Structure 1
């Protein structure tokens, strides 16, 4: 395996069968030059980025090497923690994001995450990885990122799971859920216990509802008699559910079936009781 291009001390490009691959390992390119043979014992990762290859090569050449290594360590930890492979694009998105976050924090900019509460509840495993990552950055760089950054990292990890969609759609879905929760909060006129099972079940249900709509999956149909009982017995909760549905239709052109409003009403009622 010969070096085709050196990106930094820890990353090189090789060519095998006319295919470019990025090979990474600690000190793999130290005192090396083009066409030198790679010490295979130092190889830690080999992958082909396809259309993202050039972007990743640029990051490897321009970002601080310690930022790149930390991002790779986080990705490795995440794959082990989740026991699933992550898409190759995470090497671009997380590395770029993390380096930018570290630099902005060092420059005195405040990192905020308005969706932190929803992220903690919706993506629990990914958020645990995010917290580990924040602590890891503190250990390696003596830079103490806020817990808000753990939420940002969690979203990048979640969207890197196969079939989870891109970061933009995940952010939009989480934002919509946050807005739905805010309507419920305002209409109830009471503080919501974000750690309660009822609250987290509501968040999970709203997430699945939006996912069904996005994927054009059918909703579970509620018995008409049951829906009528809910409308009568839990009138306040149902009224709030209708307001949430009206908001979705007005702001996002998302239509919830009447059965779904019944199920949301039940979750709201559990918050009340």
Structure 2
């Protein structure tokens, strides 16, 4: 392979077998020029991207700080090993671009916010663990201490890059709906839910599967009529709070929970109220 274009010290564009490829490796392009042979012993990664994606990636590699690019690649490699799964090639563009912009903002003193950090941390635990690894690596290399909200952003990028995962928009929608439900439970039941508590985790796990059933069009678990009446009578406050949450979901998101599901959510609310 011969160099067609040098993007930075660690990345070049080549034509191989009639296809344009991006080749990366530490110091691969140092003191090289166009038409020089790419040293095979320095090749670490080869990318074959669609034309539009390739142009975007080339722009990033040519303009972003090499330290940011290197960190993004190391995070991606770690995440693939940690999740034991390959990630979509687009993450090399999406995460690199996001990470560099986030680091610039932090270095300039601008805060980073993420309203869905708690939900992302719970929904995508392995990805969040990879984000925590990234936090330590960034601090070690650049001396920048990224906040938990940025760890959650990185985790979401990793999650949506998994081959069988929903899109970023769909993942954000799920996390947003869960956050709204928890807020409505707090509002209607008159309580504050501690995100680290086991009861919070049980509630969110139950809601996550309930939302999946709605999305897939699956049947909800039925409930015995006597049990339903008992919940309504014995845990009336929790059931009323659950009904209000269900009404909100129907009005805001067109999500229609049956009465059996409202009863199961009421049981979780009752546990939280205790």
TM-score by length of 2: 0.93
Aligned to 1:145: 146
Match for residue 82 of structure 1?
Answer: 83
Distance in 1, Cα, partners of 2:228 & 2:15: 63
Aligned-residue offset at 1:17 = 2.2
Taking the aligned partners of 1:219 and 1:2, their CA distance within structure 2 comes to: 59
Q: CA deviation at 1:208?
A: 2.2
Distance across 2 between alignment mates of 1:221 and 1:32? 69
In structure 2, relative to structure 1, the CA distance for the partners of 1:137 and 1:224 (3 Å cut) is same
* Cα distance change, pair 141–226 in 1 and its aligned pair in 2 (3 A): same
Residue 9, structure 1, aligned to residue 9, structure 2: yes
Count of aligned positions: 273
Q: Write the deviation string for residues 183-226 of structure 1: whole angstroms up to 9, x where unpaired.
A: 11122222323222221121122222223323333333333443
CA RMSD of aligned residues (A): 1.6
Q: Does the residue aligned with 2:194 lie in a helix, a strand or coil?
A: coil
1:39 is aligned to 39
Q: Secondary structure at the match of 2:228?
A: helix
Structure 2 vs 1, CA of residues 220 and 35 (structure 1 numbering), >3 Å: closer, same or farther? farther
Partners of 1:154 and 1:28 in 2: how far apart?
30
Within 1, Cα distance between the matches of 2:155 and 2:39?
Answer: 34
Cα pair distance change 1:160/1:217, threshold 3 Å: farther
TM-score after normalising by structure 1:
0.94
Q: Do the aligned residues in 1 keep the contact of 2:86 with 2:162 (CA within 8 Å)?
A: yes
For residues 54 and 221 of structure 1, do their structure 2 counterparts lie closer, same or farther at Cα, with a shift above 3 Å needed? farther
Q: Which residue of 2 aligns with 1:156?
A: 157
Q: Deviations over 1:114-164 (max 9, x none)?
A: 212222222222112112212211111111221211111111111111222
**Paired residues for 1:209-228 under 5 Å:** 209-228=210-229
Partner residue, 1:264: 265
Contact 2:189 2:269 in 1 (8 A): no
1:125 counterpart residue number: 126
